[in-house]
Amino acid sequence: MIAPAPAGRGDTVITIDLSGRHAVVMGVANHRSLSWAIAQQLHRAGAALCLTYAGERLRADVEQLASRLPGTLTLACDVTEDRTISAVARRLQREWGSVECLVHGIAYARKQDLEGKFVATSREGFQIALEVSAYSLLNVTNHLLPLLERNGASIVTLSYLAAERAVPNYNVMGSAKAVLEQSVRQLAWELGPKEIRVNAISAGPVSTLAARGVHGFVGMLRHHAERAPLRRNITREEVGSAGLFMLSDLSSGITGETLYVDAGYHVMGL
């Protein structure tokens, strides 16, 4: 809901009110995660939250973060296991009965596939990267569909420019992001009649656990800051607020889109 709030001098201030909405945020590993930046904004806007984490290893950290956002559920969900995705769907059916916002901030490729030669990517490495980083968007959406179609919903995933350009060392993750962005368009078409919107945010480089796994990441940060029109890198908070916009009714006419939050880097030709 977009609520007009009274303001001084006869102005109208638009506030984003997501109270009564339920948001599932996948991919919070720690306080640096882009999904965490979006979760914080959703909480500020009044949404009820469920953070999912990949496995036991992350449980304590994610529970500790969730405690900063009162009322937040935390559930384990390894997207390579249908069993755990189904368990999350069943639990949310009992707890909430509907999901209006879904954040998919999940990606993984083996370390050797983010530093060696792309041409030498193994069959298994290719499959793992695409399964975790792209297929999971379809699979999670499918498992949550009865909840997402209850009131209509907005789904946001996180992508990167390597989906459409050659980026040194990004290798198989670029392939996964290309599939992810195509999946966003295809899902948007298929789920549009159910009032479910599907979009991607293509973020510039931000120092996170996953990003640090890309060989030469620090050089990427420097390069982006020098070349981007805004002459700086983006902040995780900027991804958080763009996520809030895409998950709220302010973006109600937008679906199948890739929104660049990259200080303008993608427009450059030189």
Catalytic residues: 160, 170
93 touches 149 (CB < 8 A): no
Cβ-proximal residues to 237 (8 Å cutoff; 6+ apart), any chain: 37
**Tokens linked to 108:** 């993984």
Q: Least CB distance from residue 93 to ligand NAP, whole Å?
A: 20
Q: Does 107 bind ligand NAP (CB under 6 A)?
A: yes
Rank residues 160 and 265 by Cβ distance to ligand NAP and give the closer one.
160
Cβ-proximal residues to 17 (8 Å cutoff; 6+ apart), any chain: 1, 2, 3, 45, 46
Q: Least CB distance from residue 146 to ligand NAP, whole Å?
A: 21
Alpha-carbon gap, residue 134 to 172, rounded angstroms: 12
Q: What is the CA radius of gyration of the chain?
A: 18
Q: Least CB distance from residue 10 to ligand NAP, whole Å?
A: 41
- Within residues 52-71, the interface with ligand NAP by CB under 6 A covers 54, 58
Q: Does 79 bind ligand NAP (CB under 6 A)?
A: yes
Binding residue (CB under 6 A) for ligand NAP from 16, 18, 24, 29: 29
- Within residues 171-230, the interface with ligand NAP by CB under 6 A covers 203, 205-206, 208-211
**CB burial readout 45-67, b (16+ within 10 A) else e:** bebbbbbbbbeeebeeebeebbe
Count of residues of this chain found to bind ligand NAP when the rule CB under 6 A is applied: 27
Q: Least CB distance from residue 12 to ligand NAP, whole Å?
A: 34
**Tokens linked to 118:** 């792309």
Alpha-carbon gap, residue 242 to 52, rounded angstroms: 21
Q: Least CB distance from residue 32 to ligand NAP, whole Å?
A: 6
- Give the phi and the psi of residue 43 in degrees, each rounded to 5: -65, -45
Interface region with ligand NAP, contact rule CB under 6 A, candidates 6-14, 101-109, 146-154, 241-249:
101-109
Q: Which of 141, 134, 138 is nearest to 24 (CA)?
A: 141
Interface region with ligand NAP, contact rule CB under 6 A, candidates 12-20, 102-110, 138-146, 183-191:
102-110
Binding residue (CB under 6 A) for ligand NAP from 27, 125, 174, 243: 27
Binding residue (CB under 6 A) for ligand NAP from 16, 24, 25, 34: 34
259: how many CB neighbours lie within 10 A of its CB? 18
**Tokens linked to 102:** 């879904």
Interface ranges with ligand NAP (CB under 6 A): 27-29, 32-35, 54, 58, 78-80, 105-108, 132, 158-160, 203, 205-206, 208-211
